[in-house]
Amino acid sequence: MALLPVTLIGDKILRKKANQVKEVDYKTVELIRDMFETMRNANGIGLAANQVGSDKSIFVIDISVAEGHENSKPITFINPIIIKRSEKKCLIEEGCLSIPDIKSEIERSESITIKYHDTDLKEHILEADDLLARVIQHEYDHLQGILFTDLITDDEKKKLNKEIIKIKKRKFDITYPVTENMDYQLV
């Protein structure tokens, strides 16, 4: 397993829609393992493949470090599709490994239903609420080329602009590896 550099806001791959996974080969399994290691090293609870330079439709989640979710199991989502979102919404602060040290209140559905495949490409349908639903929606957005900062008001974007420019220019302190330039993408 290896730590992969995390892509940052401004990196082109974060705006690219992910490609469907047609087969899970050794390289895909290795990518997933490395994603879990990278996420945990950065104290994250979710990570999408494009956040480590891959355009594959994969994200991983492990919310077991969050209070009240200690018994949750890590999950790998391959080719996910959110098939239902509750009309009831909630506003909760979010952050992102690709936008370090910036947090903002984001409104999302309280519960969702998602269809996805596991590493054996077996299809699953999962109904999620609470923190799991929130993290799934956040990571799913990554695979669509959407960042949580796209969901905030223009006024809030203006307030965060200086900090975002620092991140894009890599002028900040961070405890995990990040990409060196905005063109980074695994082959």
- How is the chain split into domains, by residue range? 12-168
Q: pLDDT tens, 108-149?
A: 999 999 999 999 999 999 999 999 999 999 999 999 999 999
Homologous superfamily in CATH for domain 12-168: Peptide deformylase (3.90.45.10)
pTM of the model: 0.94
- Note the pLDDT tens digit of each residue in 10-32: 999 999 999 999 999 999 999 99
Per-residue pLDDT tens digits for 28-42: 999 999 999 999 999
Catalytic residue status for 139: yes
Q: Please state the φ and ψ torsions of residue 116, each to the nearest 5 degrees.
A: -155, 170
Q: How far apart are CA 182 and CA 171, in angstroms?
A: 14
- Considering 23, 139, 163, 180, which one is annotated as catalytic? 139
